[in-house]
């Protein structure tokens, strides 16, 4: 393919190659999901059906976007060659303007190109845990929870709070939320780790400077039956009265559910719903995601062993500093991405950090 002026020669070749292989694979996925959606009894399991339809819509849009861009490149190249052969300056200017538009569109789509992991297109289960430090850390955990809820709102993603444990004086000890939207896990996996806050304490009469920590976990939601199998004999289910919000009905009845996975020791609680059955369903969903996450860690460790490399697959390493005093700065320790607009970040504007992380990870997850 002849190179288009204004872009390196490899650009058009890479785009064509990408469309020929990756998009062709996605086209096959669209066909498979469409066939699945027409199977008898497809809507008997409404949660599974909604998940399939969501993936179908996202994959179909992905294919249409990149096939459309591929056509625009081809048409622009043809127009440019015609303009050059006929010496038509007006046509040449039109081709150049279209080329600029394609460049801008490609830059906007570059973000999505990073989301090629096996689970990236799934919904996410996100959990926030306050670190040691009592009220300070619990308040920081609630601030982080609000950050992610605002981020989801900005993107038009649904956020369903599954479980919350309130702090004694303020904030939260922990919270678990399901965030549903195209590539929710692919975006949010960058947030996994320990977040550190430095500020003047609003709970200290002397307004001394305090450092607080909170841990964020992000797991892909399990899709379809059979992906994670849980033996009923391997779990213990306890019910208890909810300690969180929900009104007197929740307080009077044992609607909260705690599930313990005996082989791994994983414990999951859900208490935000009024129905014990719905809390149990939510708890099982979180347990499945935690077991999938556990398997992902095992696979990462095995890949690292085979490659003879050391890979930090722990979810407890510090990833980002949020400094509100004596100066204002949010800095990601993995990528060096930083900003002084702490208000915007705490209001959910974290896309620059997500984008920087995804770009830094290109080629590492193969």
Write down the CATH number for the domain with range 232-307: 3.30.160.20
Predicted local confidence at residue 303, as pLDDT: 74
pTM score of the predicted model: 0.73
Predicted local confidence at residue 244, as pLDDT: 53
Q: Which residue reads 């303009």 in tokens?
A: 83
Q: Report pLDDT digits (tens) over 77-87.
A: 888 888 888 88
Do 248 and 220 touch, CB atoms closer than 8 A?
A: no
Dist. CA 186–CA 349, nearest whole Å = 17
More confident call, 73 vs 18: 73
More confident call, 22 vs 180: 180
Domain positions in the chain are 9-113, 124-225+314-360, 232-307
Euclidean distance between the first and the last CA atom of the chain, given in angstroms as a whole number: 28
> Among the CATH numbers 1.10.10.10, 1.20.58.410, 3.30.930.10, 1.10.30.50, which is that of 9-113?
1.20.58.410
Predicted local confidence at residue 315, as pLDDT: 56
- The mean pLDDT value for 278-289 works out to 94
- Percent of the chain at pLDDT > 70 equals 85
Q: Is the model's pLDDT at 42 over the cut of 50?
A: yes
Q: List Cβ neighbours of 96 (8 Å cut-off, separation of 6 or more).
A: 5, 6, 80
Predicted local confidence at residue 360, as pLDDT: 87
**Beta bridge mates, 282:** none
Q: Is the model's pLDDT at 17 over the cut of 60?
A: no
Q: How confident is the model at residue 109 (pLDDT cuts 50, 70, 90)?
A: confident
Q: Is the model's pLDDT at 46 over the cut of 90?
A: no
Q: Is the model's pLDDT at 365 over the cut of 70?
A: no
Dist. CA 166–CA 168, nearest whole Å = 7
Predicted local confidence at residue 106, as pLDDT: 81
Domain over 124-225+314-360 is classified CATH 3.90.1660.10: no
Alpha carbon distances (Å) from 94 to 70, 75, 250: 18, 12, 65
Q: What's the distance, CA 25 to chain centroid?
A: 22
Predicted local confidence at residue 132, as pLDDT: 83
Predicted local confidence at residue 16, as pLDDT: 54
- The mean pLDDT value for 154-177 works out to 94
- The mean pLDDT value for 299-307 works out to 77
């Amino acid at each position: 393919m002849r190179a288009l002026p204004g872009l390196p020669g490899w650009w058009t070749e890479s785009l064509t190659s990408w469309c020929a292989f990756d998009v062709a694979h996605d086209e096959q996925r669209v066909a498979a999901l469409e066939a699945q959606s027409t199977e008898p009894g497809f809507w008997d399991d409404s949660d599974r059906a909604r998940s399939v339809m969501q993936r179908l819509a996202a994959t179909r849009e992905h294919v249409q976007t990149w096939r459309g861009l591929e056509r625009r490149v081809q048409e622009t190249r043809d127009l440019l060659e015609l303009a050059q052969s006929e010496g038509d300056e007006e046509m040449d200017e039109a081709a150049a303007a279209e080329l600029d538009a394609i460049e801008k569109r490609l830059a906007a789509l570059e973000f999505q190109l990073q989301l090629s992991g096996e689970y990236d297109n799934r919904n996410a289960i996100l959990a926030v845990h306050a670190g040691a430090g009592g009220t300070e850390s619990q308040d920081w955990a609630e601030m982080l929870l609000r950050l992610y809820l605002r981020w989801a709102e900005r993107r038009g993603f649904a956020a369903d709070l599954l479980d919350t444990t309130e702090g004694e004086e303020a904030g939260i000890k922990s919270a678990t939320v399901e965030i549903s939207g195209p590539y929710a896990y692919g975006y949010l996996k960058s947030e996994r780790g320990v977040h550190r806050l430095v500020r003047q304490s609003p709970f200290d009469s002397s307004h001394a400077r305090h450092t607080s920590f909170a841990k964020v976990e992000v797991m892909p939601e399990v899709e379809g039956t059979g992906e994670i199998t849980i033996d009923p004999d391997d779990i213990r289910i306890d019910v208890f009265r909810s300690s969180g919000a929900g009104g007197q009905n929740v307080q009077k009845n044992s609607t909260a559910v705690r599930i313990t996975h005996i082989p791994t020791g994983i414990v999951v609680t859900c208490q935000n719903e009024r129905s014990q059955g719905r809390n149990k369903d939510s708890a099982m969903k979180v347990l499945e995601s935690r077991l999938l996450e556990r398997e992902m860690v095992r696979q990462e460790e095995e890949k690292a062993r085979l490659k003879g490399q050391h890979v930090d697959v722990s979810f407890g390493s510090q990833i980002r500093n949020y400094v509100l005093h004596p100066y204002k700065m949010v800095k990601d320790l993995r990528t060096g991405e930083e900003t002084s607009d702490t208000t915007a970040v705490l209001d959910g504007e974290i896309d620059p950090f997500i984008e920087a992380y995804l770009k830094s990870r290109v080629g590492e997850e193969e």
